[in-house]
Amino acid sequence: MNAKQAAGYRAAELVQDGMVVGLGTGSTAYYAIEKIGERVAQGLQIRAIATSNASEELALKYGIPLIPASEVERLDIAIDGADEVDPEMALIKGGGGALLREKLVAINSDRFIVIADSGKMVPQLGQFKLPIELVPFCYEWTLGQLKRNYDVQFEMRTRDGELYVTDNGNYIVDAAFGKIPSPAQLSHELKMMTGVVDHGLFVDIADTVIVGYEDGRTEMIEKKH
């Protein structure tokens, strides 16, 4: 068992009968979905909401019943990966481009569980480039404003030589901050910018972090209140 698998499987064990479950996106979330699928095949009764088209496909493959978000007011639990996790449990997410749906699902869940291999645990956020989702209309102007506001490298995300388009029809720019001394402040500043849809900083959202290690061990860290 590898580190991502260990974290994903441990989180999947926290899902209980009757829950509405948010399914994250990425290679760690994959393992949680796989294990939840196994449990559903054994009789676990849940309903789920996927955070991306890719996770939706995976859920369907594993026979996990999906519902539209409009069917519920809140989720009981959401399980998702992260690109970086700091000691305060602030996160950078969005490496896989699903940050907007992931954040919507996370903030509307009673318990947001982050699953991460130990390499994702960092003393300070920012080495991983921060994904920022932009409205395509006039995105060059938004990008220009970002460049004027922050003296860091910005790179529009591409796929197959074209601008990468999210499941929501938006673009992503990746910002190489290097160090983010105040994730809360940067999160607020970016949210205030017209043309920015959202960004990959998740501050004060995670309730639990499950860290997976290469030897298959896991560690569960709860938010300090």
Ligand X SMILES: O=C(CO)[C@H](O)[C@H](O)COP(=O)(O)O
**Residue 165 C-beta: closest distance to ligand X, Å:** 14
Q: Which residues bind ligand X (CB under 6 A)?
A: 24-29, 80-83, 93-99, 102
Buried b vs exposed e over 79-109: b needs ≥16 C-beta within 10 Å?
bbbbbbbbeebbbbbbbbbbbbbbbbbbebb
Beta carbon nearer to ligand X, 71 or 100: 100
Compute the distance between CA of residue 143 and CA of residue 92 in angstroms, rounded to an integer.
20
Query: Is 142 labeled as ligand-binding?
Result: no
- Asked whether 83 and 200 are in contact (CB, 8 A), the reply is yes
Token readout for 103 is: 């954040």
**Residue 115 C-beta: closest distance to ligand X, Å:** 8
Beta carbon nearer to ligand X, 45 or 101: 101
Beta carbon nearer to ligand X, 27 or 108: 27
**Residue 141 C-beta: closest distance to ligand X, Å:** 25
- Asked whether 118 and 209 are in contact (CB, 8 A), the reply is no
Handedness of CA 119, 121, 125, 130 (dihedral sign): positive
Catalytic (active-site) positions:
102
Sequence ranges of the binding site: 25-28, 80-83, 93-96, 120
Sequence ranges of the binding site for substrate: 25-28, 80-83, 93-96, 120
